[in-house]
Amino acid sequence: MAEPNKAHKVVVLGTGGTIAGTSAQPGDDRHYRAGQIGVDQLLQHLPKLPANLVLVAEQVAQVDSKDMGPALWWQLRRRVAHWLAQADVVGVVITHGTDTLEETAYFLYATLPAAKPVVLTCAMRPATSLAPDGPQNLRDAISVALHPGAQGVLAVCAGTLHGALDVQKLHTSRLDAFSSGDAGVLGKIRSHRLFLIRNWPQASVKYSGSAIENIASDADWPPVDIVTSHAGADGLVVDALLAQGVRGIVVAGTGSGTVHHALEAALLRAQAAGVVVWRSTRCALGPVSPAAQRLPDAQGLSPVKARIALALELLTCSPR
Ligand code: SIN
């Protein structure tokens, strides 16, 4: 835990999600609205907070995370960067919906040098549940933010610590909905203590520079889409995207990243027309094979993370 007598400031940024959700019938965990309760209210009644902890709450957004997108990511990134730059802030916690948590985590990981911890957390049950998981997850996220040496963009759910690169939601309803796949989890949190299993992720930033810092709105975000390979795929969707001016396409291939021949032909046409095409897999776990494929692979990223990386690549590397 943190040094006993020194004050430690942790900033908690609220963005909505089930953790801030309410149902009309208390205890109804299926019919509820995400993003209803303010982050300052979520921080009330958290158990066993250290006496020297100063918590600052800031509401950045109040959304169901299915509606998250570049405009909110840039706004969130600005607020995180602002707080991380304050000398007295030891870490930032972000309350977020589970549905796109891994995308926000990846976006921040890829664009923000986080030498301090940035911990996303969430809940699978709304705040009005008879047994909400949000308070425990939030308390655990604060424990991680206070942990000496903590750094990087992280995610906490169900007593488990994940890195932004590896975390993904694998289950629609289990409290322990997230996995770090073959990489494995970073640690476990028990009774407000973190037990680290792997090293902290390196605070290396892949996408930086003025193209990132000067982003004014999501109008700057290049159009990048995901298409899925499947039995009977015909590539019509690729032709339609091309006609609409798409600049990047991630194909979620079958198995180790293979692509139906008709879809592949359409993707190669798009590539020849200047669209950047990356290949990922629709499988939740496991690598993509580079062998015998004409489309470059997405370097181990899931389709949704590859889509963000490809948009950032287009923003930072190519003439606009
Ligand atoms: C959301 O992602 O905002 C709703 C679902 C959830 O948080 O579990």
Number of domains in the chain: 2
In a shared domain, residues 229 and 189: no
More confident residue, 316 or 66: 66
CATH number of the domain that 65 lies in?
3.40.50.1170
In a shared domain, residues 184 and 58: yes
Residue 219 has pLDDT above 90, yes or no: no
In a shared domain, residues 175 and 33: yes
- Per the annotation, the verdict on 18 as an active-site residue is yes
Residue ranges around ligand 1 (CB below 6 Å):
16-18, 34, 64-66, 97-99, 122, 124
201 within a domain of the structure (yes/no) = no
Q: What's residue 208's pLDDT?
A: 82
In a shared domain, residues 106 and 149: yes
Domain carrying residue 139? 8-196
Atom 2 of ligand 1 has which residue's CA nearest to it? Answer: 97
Find the 43 Cα to ligand 1 centroid distance in Å: 18
Find the 122 Cα to ligand 1 centroid distance in Å: 8
Q: Which of 215-219, 246-250, 316-320 reaches the highest mean pLDDT? A: 246-250
CATH number of the domain that 283 lies in?
3.40.50.40
In a shared domain, residues 260 and 185: no
Find the 128 Cα to ligand 1 centroid distance in Å: 14
124 Cα nearest atom in ligand 1: 8
In a shared domain, residues 147 and 278: no
CA distance 95 to 17: 7
Atom 7 of ligand 1 has which residue's CA nearest to it? Answer: 97
In a shared domain, residues 115 and 167: yes
**How confident is residue 292, by pLDDT bands cut at 50, 70 and 90?**
low
Contact 260, 233 (CB under 8 A): yes
**How confident is residue 190, by pLDDT bands cut at 50, 70 and 90?**
very high
**How confident is residue 4, by pLDDT bands cut at 50, 70 and 90?**
low
> In testing the pocket of ligand 1, which one of 30, 33, 60, 65 has its CB within 8 Å of the most ligand atoms?
65
DSSP letter for each residue of the chain? ---SSS-EEEEEEEEESGGG-B-SSTT-SSS-BSS-S-HHHHTTT-TT--TTEEEEEEEEEEE-GGG--HHHHHHHHHHHHHHHTSTTEEEEEEE--STTHHHHHHHHHHH---SSEEEEE--SS-TTSSS-SHHHHHHHHHHHHHSTT--EEEEEETTEEEETTT-EE--SS-SS-EE-GGG--SEEEETTEEEE-SPPPP---SS-SHHHHT--SGGGS--EEEEE--TT--SHHHHHHHHTT--EEEEEEBTTTB--HHHHHHHHHHHHTT-EEEEEESSSSSPPP-TT-SS-B-TT--HHHHHHHHHHHHHHHS--
Last residue of one domain, picked from the residues 196, 214, 245: 196
How many other β-carbons are positioned within 10 Å of the β-carbon of residue 232?
7
